[in-house]
């Protein structure tokens, strides 16, 4: 097991940058996820780590060892791909044994190690089956067993659950997480599925167009996104137009107007003008009493739609000026049963739980954890 350091790694495809100056330090035993939309460079970074691609700039270290020039088969990496990549004409046992045979390991040792790996993924009883007679989830477990049987220093997984149906995906992701923790293998996992990333990872790097935007624990990424892209990509977020008024350097606060409400908010730096108020649907709430400021600032609005989703209800509300916000409430709140399109409500905007970005969404002006909100 190793830690992994990625320093200023850049990989071009012709003129285009697949990965642009990536810096990461992944700890021993960590479950680390590369997350981002299609084409953001996740696979490029993973393949560069594996040695399938040679970076044009920067360095990669496994532990203290620089692996820039080390070929794929000498990096001691276990890999699991989306399409399983198992051999259909070999049995389960033979598939898992394949990588060990290539390493000229003795027969008895191969038998022992393959069976141990198959025990880990709970497939030992199916050792003589052909993969074609097995389910997608089982085939992916064969691929996992094959990846771990070589006792890799590093486990790389590229969208390993994408070919599975939704229910199996949930089950397998819990299994992968559990197995990774038991074996304590440093793991780098690629997905475009933010919920999956939040559920399995110790830490996540969010990428956009080849550039790492943010690295953090799942809750940090969710609650304290560093820019509009991350806030938008992870979960659902409301972006409400806001206007920052006078900044008071002594108290490091400014007045902020959203629709017809003005509050005083702490800011990280002096700023005036247009801004973006970013808040999650579950951080907004509805109030029966109409409009106004007060200790809990509220904006008057009109319900547009109410969507029942089982344990929660999503309510979209049109605010003065025409913007629509999404509010999520527990179904058991009961009250939301009486909600219907056209009803006048007021929305509690909970400024203390918000993040405020500059007008371009590039910079945080107020973080989630900054308190000191006052009625203006
Ligand atoms: N072999 C290649 N030749 C040229 N361009 C490539 C190659 N591989 C990737 N790219 C480009 O590099 C960028 C990053 O691609 P990459 O496959 O790493 O993205 P990704 O985040 O893994 O996407 P996906 O989730 O769709 O697999 C994209 O713009 C892609 O078109």
Q: 181-192: per-residue pLDDT in tens?
A: 998 999 999 999
DSSP-derived secondary structure for 188-236: EEEES-HHHHHHH-SEEEEEETTEEEEEE-HHHHHHS-SSHHHHHHSS-
Residue 288's pLDDT is 65
Per-residue pLDDT for 103 more than 80? Answer: no
**pLDDT higher at 264 or 168:** 264
DSSP-derived secondary structure for 158-201: ESTTTTS-HHHHHHHHHHHHHHHHHHT-EEEEEES-HHHHHHH-
Helix or strand (DSSP H, E) at 101 = helix 92-101
Residue 196 token pair: 């999956």
Q: Please state the rounded mean pLDDT for residues 16-33.
A: 96
Q: Report the range of poorest mean pLDDT among 61-65, 99-103, 224-228.
A: 99-103
Task: Report the share of the chain in percent with pLDDT over 70.
Answer: 94
Residue 37 token pair: 């939309």
Residue 199's pLDDT is 93
Q: Which residues line ligand 1 (CB under 6 A)?
A: 13, 18, 36, 38-44, 192
Per-residue pLDDT for 96 more than 70? Answer: yes
As to burial, measured by CB atoms within 10 angstroms (0-12 exposed, 13-18 middle, 19+ buried), residue 89 is exposed
Residue 262's pLDDT is 92
Q: Nearest residue CA, atom 13 of ligand 1?
A: 18
Report the separation in Å between the CA atom of 197 and the middle of ligand 1, taken as the mean of its atom positions.
20
Residues 132 and 90: beta-carbon distance below 8 Å: no
**pLDDT higher at 46 or 352:** 46
Report the separation in Å between the CA atom of 193 and the middle of ligand 1, taken as the mean of its atom positions.
17
* Domain residue limits, the chain: 4-229, 236-375
Helix or strand (DSSP H, E) at 78 = strand 77-80
As to burial, measured by CB atoms within 10 angstroms (0-12 exposed, 13-18 middle, 19+ buried), residue 310 is exposed
Q: Please state the rounded mean pLDDT for residues 229-234.
A: 96
Residues 288, 289, 295: CA angle, nearest 5 degrees? 115
Per-residue pLDDT for 291 more than 90? Answer: no
Mean pLDDT for all residues in the chain = 90
Q: Nearest residue CA, atom 29 of ligand 1?
A: 39
User: pLDDT digits over 126-155, tens only?
Assistant: 999 998 888 888 888 899 899 999 889 999
Same fold, 4-229 and 236-375: no
User: pLDDT digits over 309-330, tens only?
Assistant: 888 999 999 999 899 999 999 8
Provide the CA 333 distance to its chain's centre, in angstroms: 29
Across-strand partners of 279?
238
Handedness of CA 218, 220, 226, 229 (dihedral sign): positive
SS3 148: helix
Q: Please state the rounded mean pLDDT for residues 360-374.
A: 82
Distance CA 205, CA 217 (A): 9
**pLDDT higher at 68 or 368:** 68
Cβ neighbours of residue 82 closer than 8 Å, sequence gap 6 or more: 158, 159, 160, 162, 163
Distance CA 198, CA 219 (A): 8
Residue 293's pLDDT is 47
Site to substitute for ligand 1 among 10, 11, 37, 42, most atoms within 8 A of C-beta: 42
Residue 280's pLDDT is 95
Distances (CA, A) of 282 to 230, 237, 305, 339: 17, 9, 16, 17
Tokens 């696979």 -> residue: 43
Distances (CA, A) of 137 to 69, 91, 133, 185: 35, 16, 12, 21
Q: Which CATH superfamily is domain 4-229 in?
A: P-loop containing nucleotide triphosphate hydrolases (3.40.50.300)
CATH 2.40.50.100 fits domain 236-375: yes
Distance CA 316, CA 139 (A): 42
Distance CA 335, CA 103 (A): 65
Q: Nearest residue CA, atom 28 of ligand 1?
A: 39
pLDDT band at 334 (very low <50, low <70, confident <90, very high): low
Residue 93's pLDDT is 94
Q: Please state the rounded mean pLDDT for residues 255-276.
A: 94
Q: Please state the rounded mean pLDDT for residues 261-280.
A: 94
């Amino acid at each position: 097991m190793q830690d992994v350091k990625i320093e200023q790694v850049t990989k071009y495809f012709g003129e285009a940058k697949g990965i642009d100056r990536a810096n990461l330090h992944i700890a021993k035993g960590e479950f680390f996820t590369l997350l981002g939309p299609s084409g953001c460079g996740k696979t490029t970074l993973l393949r560069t780590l594996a040695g399938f691609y040679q970076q044009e700039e920067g360095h990669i270290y496994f532990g203290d060892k620089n692996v820039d020039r080390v070929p794929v088969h000498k990096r001691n990496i276990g890999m699991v791909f989306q399409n399983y990549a198992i051999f259909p004409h070999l049995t389960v046992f033979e598939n898992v044994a394949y990588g060990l045979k290539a390493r000229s390991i003795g027969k008895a040792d191969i038998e022992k190690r393959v069976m141990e790996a198959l025990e880990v993924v709970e497939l030992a009883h199916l050792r003589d089956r052909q993969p074609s007679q097995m389910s997608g989830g089982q085939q992916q477990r064969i691929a996992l067993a094959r990846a771990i049987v070589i006792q890799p220093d590093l486990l790389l997984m590229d969208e390993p659950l994408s070919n599975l149906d939704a229910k199996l995906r949930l089950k397998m992701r819990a299994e992968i997480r559990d197995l990774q923790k038991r074996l304590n293998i440093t793991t780098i996992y690629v997905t475009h599925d933010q919920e999956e990333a939040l559920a399995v990872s110790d830490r996540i790097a969010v990428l956009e167009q080849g550039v790492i935007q943010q690295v953090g624990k799942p809750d940090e990424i969710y609650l304290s996104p560093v820019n509009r892209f991350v806030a938008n990509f992870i979960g659902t977020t409301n972006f409400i137009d806001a206007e920052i008024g006078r900044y008071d350097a002594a108290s490091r606060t400014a007045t902020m107007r959203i629709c017809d409400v003005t509050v005083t908010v702490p800011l990280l730096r002096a700023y005036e003008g247009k801004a973006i108020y970013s808040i999650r649907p579950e951080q907004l709430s509805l109030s029966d009493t109409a409009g106004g400021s007060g200790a809990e600032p509220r904006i008057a609005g009109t319900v547009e739609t109410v969507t029942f989703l089982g344990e929660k209800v999503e309510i979209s509300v049109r605010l003065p000026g025409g913007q629509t916000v999404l509010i999520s409430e527990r179904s058991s709140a009961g009250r939301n049963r009486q909600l219907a399109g056209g009803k006048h409500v007021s929305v509690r905007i909970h400024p203390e739980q918000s993040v405020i970005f500059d007008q371009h969404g590039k910079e945080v002006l107020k973080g989630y954890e900054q308190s000191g909100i006052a009625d203006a």
